[in-house]
Amino acid sequence: MGQALRYSNAMKAFYCQSYGGADVMRHGELPAPTAGRGQVLVRVQAASINPLDWKIRQGDFRLLTGRRFPKVLGADVAGVVEALGPGASGLVVGQRVYGVMPIFLGRQGAHAELVTLAAKRLRPLPEGWSFEQAAALPVAALTALNGLRRCGALKDRAVLVNGATGGVGHLAVQLAKARGARVTGVCSARNAERARALGCEQVVDYRQQSLAELGRAFDVIFDAYGLLGFTRAATALTASGHYATTLPTPGVMLHALWRRVLGGQQIVGANMRARGEDYDELQQLVTSGALRPIVEQVFPLAEAAQAFALAERGGAVGKIVLRLGG
Ligand SMILES: NC(=O)c1ccc[n+]([C@@H]2O[C@H](COP(=O)([O-])OP(=O)(O)OC[C@H]3O[C@@H](n4cnc5c(N)ncnc54)[C@H](OP(=O)(O)O)[C@@H]3O)[C@@H](O)[C@H]2O)c1
C-alpha cells in the first residue's frame, strides 16, 4: 500500500495552464517526475512565493520560459530526498534539504509534491530549521547578500533599504545591520513598526516622503523594491555612494558601466547568487540569530490561489509560504 503511494505516477501541484492572470492557475494532478542523471527527486514540504512566479505566469520572460504548459512555478524549495538518479551523489534518501529550483527553460518549479533538480543545487537542512523557514530564505536572502556585498564595507555606513519589509528587503535590513550599518527603511506606513523591529533606526513612508527630502545622507541605497531608479536614488546618496537594485535591466546595467567610467556614485545589480559560500554565510547568520526570515503566513498547497493573491496584493511582511506534505 505504502509502495503504491510512493511510486504512484501522479502528484498534486499548483500550476498555470497558459500565460495570464490569476485565473490561469489550477490546483490539480500532474504526472510525477523521475530523477534523471545527476538529479535528486525531492518530496517537497514547503515552497515560498516570489514575485518571479507571477512575472513568469504573466509571460514577462516568455523567451526564457517557453510555451510548454502546464507550468509549475516556485523557485524556493525545502523537502526530503525521495530518490537519487544515476550518478547523483552527496545526499542520501530521507535527508532534509533545501535550495533553489532553476525554473527557466521549461523546467518545473517547487509548487508540487515532487520535484527533480541537480544534487549540487541542494543543501542539507541545518539542524533545528523548519521546512517553512528554509523555503523562505534562499532566493530573497541570496539576492540581498549579493547586492549588499557589491556595495563594499558596511560598518558604520548609512544604508537605506527601499522596500524594507518585503521578501528581499526584510533580509537586507538584517544583513546590513549584521555588518554594522545604520539602517533606514522605506516601507508603507502600516509596516513602519515591523521595519523598526527588524533593526531600522529611521523609517520613511514611501507615500509621504521623497528621498530628496532626506539629503545626501546615504552611503548605500539598496533598492529591494527595484523600481526607485538611479536618478531618484542619487539625490539621497553621498558623492561616492552605491545604488543597488534588484531589477538590473540591460538599460540599468549599461548606465552602471557608464557610471564606472565617470566615477562618483555607482550602480550595482542585486542579483541572486547561490554559491556554497553564500549559503554558508547565510546559515551562520541564521544560527547566530543575526538573520531571521519572517514567514508571514503559511497556506496549504490547495489554497495556493489565496497565497498568490496575498503576495501579489502587497503589504505583507517577509515571505508567504506554501506547505505540502504532512
Ligand atoms: N534580481 C534578482 O535576482 C531578484 C531576486 C529576488 C527578487 N527580485 C525582484 O525584487 C523585487 C522585490 O522582491 P520581493 O520578493 O522583496 O517582493 P515583495 O515581497 O513583494 O516586496 C516588495 C516590497 O516593496 C515595497 N514597496 C511597494 N511599493 C513601493 C514603493 N513605491 N517604494 C518603496 N517600496 C515599495 C512593498 O512595501 P508594502 O508591501 O509595505 O507596500 C514591499 O515591502 C521584485 O521585483 C523581484 O522580482 C530580483
pLDDT of residue 8: 59
* Domain containing residue 301: 2-137+293-323
Specify whether 229 is located in the same domain as 298: no
Q: Does the global pTM surpass 0.75? A: yes
Q: Is 319 left (phi over 0), alpha (psi -120 to 50) or beta?
A: beta
Q: Which residues fall within 8 angstroms of residue 273, CB to CB, at 6 or more apart?
A: 142, 145, 146
Specify whether 94 is located in the same domain as 52: yes
Q: Is the CB of 169 under 6 A from ligand 1?
A: yes
pLDDT of residue 4: 39
Expressed in angstroms and rounded, the spacing between residue 174 Cα and the centre of ligand 1 is: 16
Q: Is the CB of 139 under 6 A from ligand 1?
A: yes
Which whole-number Å values give the CA distances from 184 to 164, 203, 217, 250, 261, in the listed order? 8, 6, 10, 28, 29
**Rounded Cα distance, 230 and 265, in Å:** 9
Q: Is the CB of 50 under 6 A from ligand 1?
A: yes
Specify whether 110 is located in the same domain as 26: yes
Specify whether 235 is located in the same domain as 174: yes
Reading the block at residue 17, the C-alpha cell is 495552464
Expressed in angstroms and rounded, the spacing between residue 47 Cα and the centre of ligand 1 is: 18
Q: 38 with 119: CB under 8 angstroms?
A: yes
Q: Which residues fall within 8 angstroms of residue 209, CB to CB, at 6 or more apart?
A: none
Minimum-distance ligand 1 atom for the alpha carbon of 271: 3
Q: Is the CB of 226 under 6 A from ligand 1?
A: yes
Specify whether 36 is located in the same domain as 106: yes
Residue 48 lies in a domain: yes
Expressed in angstroms and rounded, the spacing between residue 112 Cα and the centre of ligand 1 is: 25
Q: Is the CB of 95 under 6 A from ligand 1?
A: no
Specify whether 179 is located in the same domain as 128: no
**Rounded Cα distance, 101 and 244, in Å:** 24
**Which residue matches cell numbers 529550483?**
101
pLDDT of residue 185: 98
Report how many domains make up the chain.
2
Specify whether 158 is located in the same domain as 197: yes
pLDDT of residue 95: 98
Expressed in angstroms and rounded, the spacing between residue 314 Cα and the centre of ligand 1 is: 9
Expressed in angstroms and rounded, the spacing between residue 246 Cα and the centre of ligand 1 is: 8
Q: Is the CB of 191 under 6 A from ligand 1?
A: yes
Minimum-distance ligand 1 atom for the alpha carbon of 315: 39
Tell me the CATH number at 28: 3.90.180.10
Q: Where are the alpha helices (DSSP H) in the chain?
A: 2-6, 51-58, 62-65, 131-136, 138-149, 167-178, 192-198, 230-234, 250-262, 276-288, 304-313
Question: Could you tell me which residues are beta bridge partners of residue 185?
Answer: 161, 203
Residue 286 lies in a domain: no
Residue 13 lies in a domain: yes
Q: 127 with 196: CB under 8 angstroms?
A: no
Q: Is the CB of 162 under 6 A from ligand 1?
A: yes
**Rounded Cα distance, 76 and 296, in Å:** 16
Specify whether 6 is located in the same domain as 127: yes
Q: Going by CA atoms, what residue is nearest to atom 34 of ligand 1?
A: 163
Residue 116 lies in a domain: yes
Specify whether 181 is located in the same domain as 250: yes
Q: Is the CB of 46 under 6 A from ligand 1?
A: no
**Rounded Cα distance, 302 and 284, in Å:** 34
Question: Could you tell me which residues are beta bridge partners of residue 220?
Answer: 159, 242
Specify whether 192 is located in the same domain as 122: no
Reading the block at residue 122, the C-alpha cell is 541542494
Q: 283 with 275: CB under 8 angstroms?
A: no
Q: Is the CB of 125 under 6 A from ligand 1?
A: no
3 state DSSP class of 269: strand
Per-residue pLDDT of the chain (326 residues; tens, 9 = 90+): 334 344 458 999 999 999 999 999 999 999 999 999 999 999 999 999 999 999 999 999 999 999 999 999 999 999 999 999 999 999 999 999 999 999 988 899 999 999 999 999 999 999 999 999 999 999 999 999 999 999 999 999 999 999 999 999 999 999 999 999 999 999 999 999 999 999 999 999 999 999 999 999 999 999 999 999 999 999 999 999 999 999 999 999 999 999 999 999 999 999 999 999 999 999 999 999 999 999 999 999 999 999 999 999 999 999 999 999 86
Residue 276 lies in a domain: no
Specify whether 169 is located in the same domain as 236: yes
Tell me the CATH number at 228: 3.40.50.720
Specify whether 84 is located in the same domain as 209: no
